[in-house]
A and B are shown apart, each in its own frame.
Chain A
């Protein structure tokens, strides 16, 4: 177990270094940091002094190490656009994104699982046919169109939910939450559904495929031959075996919820990290881009790690074999 985790950790560090390298290249070579900071009007000699002071004349490897060192302390410099420390900016917008991601991940997981199991257990029913057809349409619908459609139907026409923003927020220390007020809850519903639909479809199809596979196995036949109840077979034996592979892929999918939030946040003018990133790309606010990249990579690596450990806990075969047989 320990060896397994250490190996996974080493891999995660490698991935982070790789992403850091890209972020560094973006940070250092896209545009000129000096002109971005002080404008072109500054005298060349002054620019040269700044360059020297900021260490931009040092060997590349030294600069890269310094970049990593700063990144580990959470320092990514000052946003060109907003003239604020990047880390502060991201942290102030993080709660909005995390709450949205959490809400939609929950929706995707619950409905994906339920619908997947349903369509697997009743493959020939009318309901399953409808769900499967809808899921294919769902994959082909761009997220932003779903968002617009939901806004049009539920905000413009029916007026049930607000069409943009987070509603009223409450400060809990440094965490600004929208989940404690009624308007906040109402505001998160549409964006959360929008963001969840794609993952929901994926999870559902995955659960269905895996479960159909499991239902064909010999141990399910043997369970039937022993006269176990349909319930025990479907929701005990079959579901538990279905969940093993589903956990991995679902976990990774949930990571991408945060990245997909970019689109949803833009459609709903949700004040999260994603919309910050979009604006930064539009105006080439390099420090924010680099920091966001590192942030997303960190999220992915963490989720990967958790999924691996979870996998280990769920499947006894991995536990006893000493972790060598994983994936």
Chain B
């Protein structure tokens, strides 16, 4: 584009053979990682938050869900201070029931991340399967699957999730609703996000399908499922990884939104969204920390995952930049 209307571009020097590690460290992906301080910070933040969530039961200073360890007298203790009545010290303050906000955040991130990750996995599984099927078979199957994906893509995920949630409420008997709530949420969020994956995978599959090695495999009678898994799937993993990362951030936000709206996880298992919903009630009366810290955690989590996804997209496909 700059130099001439040139079909030039021949390699300057023949590639030297390298060890695997050197190759990895030399790769474009690692290069772009080192070159992007934002990405480095984002990955550190994301990993710390995820570790914090996973290790919550072992490292949390308090167990916010054990009524025995709670003291209502600790309620509304401000951050970085001693409770007025007990000898408990609270880094991020205590909420209305005297629960340590820091600990509820750790447990809350656990729920948020679990729901987000499971929902994304569900969406990937569903989307990739349907995308492969549509792309490989073509014809009517393809038309039906993609038409449904199109319709769904034009509606916001949150609306679809709400609808699925409402339906589940009507169908599941009342006494099981609480225990099923998390799974309903996962299915609802997953079902509202599969279409992106299906669309991408279908496109890539249709391209791969035309290639000689796939035709060859088909001619010698390899089972279609085997062809899909062994030959086509690896080729579509890159884009799936990118959409999956950004999808995880979306799923976390979606879960928080649903929980905030009061149609998410049950109050006995609060996620970050639930904590924000609770904290909102105390915003006007000055107990800002009950809302503030969960909100910051949620934003950090969503933002860092989003940034990683953004970087991944640029690194894997510089042309999209």
Known: A284-B170, A286-B170, A300-B155. Contact between A136 and B262, CB under 8 A? no
Per the 8 Å Cβ criterion, residues 255-284 of B in contact with A are 256-257, 260-263, 276, 280, 283-284
Known: A15-B151, A137-B303. Contact between A144 and B169, CB under 8 A? no
Chain B binding site: helix, strand, loop or mixed by DSSP? helix
B163 to chain A, nearest CB (A): 7
Q: Provide the bound-state CA to CA distance between A286 and B171, in Å.
A: 11
Known: A140-B249, A143-B257, A148-B283. Contact between A277 and B299, CB under 8 A? no
Query: Mask for A127-146, Cβ within 8 A of B = 1, else 0?
Result: 00000000011011111110
Q: Provide the bound-state CA to CA distance between A256 and B157, in Å.
A: 10
B14 to chain A, nearest CB (A): 33
Per the 8 Å Cβ criterion, residues 97-151 of A in contact with B are 136-137, 139-145, 148, 151
Q: For the complex, is A26 an interface residue (Cβ under 8 Å from B)? A: yes
Q: For the complex, is B295 an interface residue (Cβ under 8 Å from A)? A: yes
Question: Are the CB atoms of A278 and B276 closer together than 8 Å?
Answer: no
Q: For the complex, is A195 an interface residue (Cβ under 8 Å from B)? A: no
Question: Are the CB atoms of B171 and A30 closer together than 8 Å?
Answer: yes
Known: A262-B162, A278-B162, A281-B165. Contact between A142 and B170, CB under 8 A? no
Question: Are the CB atoms of A140 and B163 closer together than 8 Å?
Answer: no
Per the 8 Å Cβ criterion, residues 1-22 of A in contact with B are 15, 18-19
A58 to chain B, nearest CB (A): 22
Q: Provide the bound-state CA to CA distance between A140 and B151, in Å.
A: 25
Question: Are the CB atoms of B170 and A260 closer together than 8 Å?
Answer: no
Chain B residues in 8 Å Cβ range of A252: 154
Q: Provide the bound-state CA to CA distance between A110 and B295, in Å.
A: 29
Q: Which of A31, A259, A277 contacts B155 (CB 8 A)?
A: A259
Chain B residues in 8 Å Cβ range of A145: 276, 295, 298-299
Q: Provide the bound-state CA to CA distance between A152 and B261, in Å.
A: 18
Q: For the complex, is A305 an interface residue (Cβ under 8 Å from B)? A: no
Q: For the complex, is A174 an interface residue (Cβ under 8 Å from B)? A: no
Question: Are the CB atoms of A260 and B158 closer together than 8 Å?
Answer: yes
Q: For the complex, is B57 an interface residue (Cβ under 8 Å from A)? A: no
Q: Which of A18, A30, A259, A300 contacts B158 (CB 8 A)?
A: A259
Chain A residues in 8 Å Cβ range of B151: 15, 18-19
A75 to chain B, nearest CB (A): 21
Q: Provide the bound-state CA to CA distance between A145 and B293, in Å.
A: 12
Question: Are the CB atoms of B276 and A144 closer together than 8 Å?
Answer: yes
Q: Provide the bound-state CA to CA distance between A320 and B303, in Å.
A: 46
Q: Provide the bound-state CA to CA distance between A281 and B284, in Å.
A: 28
Question: Are the CB atoms of A136 and B307 closer together than 8 Å?
Answer: yes
Chain B residues in 8 Å Cβ range of A152: 283, 288
Nearest B residue to A252, CB-CB: B154
Question: Are the CB atoms of A26 and B163 closer together than 8 Å?
Answer: yes
Chain B residues in 8 Å Cβ range of A289: 163, 166
Q: For the complex, is A34 an interface residue (Cβ under 8 Å from B)? A: no
A153 to chain B, nearest CB (A): 11
B178 to chain A, nearest CB (A): 14
Question: Are the CB atoms of B170 and A148 closer together than 8 Å?
Answer: no
Query: Mask for A274-297, Cβ within 8 A of B = 1, else 0?
Result: 000110111010100100010010
Nearest B residue to A19, CB-CB: B151
Query: Mask for B138-181, Cβ within 8 A of A = 1, else 0?
Result: 00000000001001001110110011011101110000000000
Chain B residues with CB under 8 Å of chain A are 1, 148, 151, 154-156, 158-159, 162-163, 165-167, 169-171, 249, 253, 256-257, 260-263, 276, 280, 283-284, 288, 291, 295, 298-299, 302-303, 306-307, 310
A–B pairs, 7, beta carbons within 8 Å? A140-B249, A144-B256, A156-B283, A262-B158, A281-B163, A282-B263, A300-B154
Other than the known A30-B170, A293-B163, what 4 A-B pairs have Cβ atoms closer than 8 Å? A136-B310, A141-B302, A144-B256, A156-B283
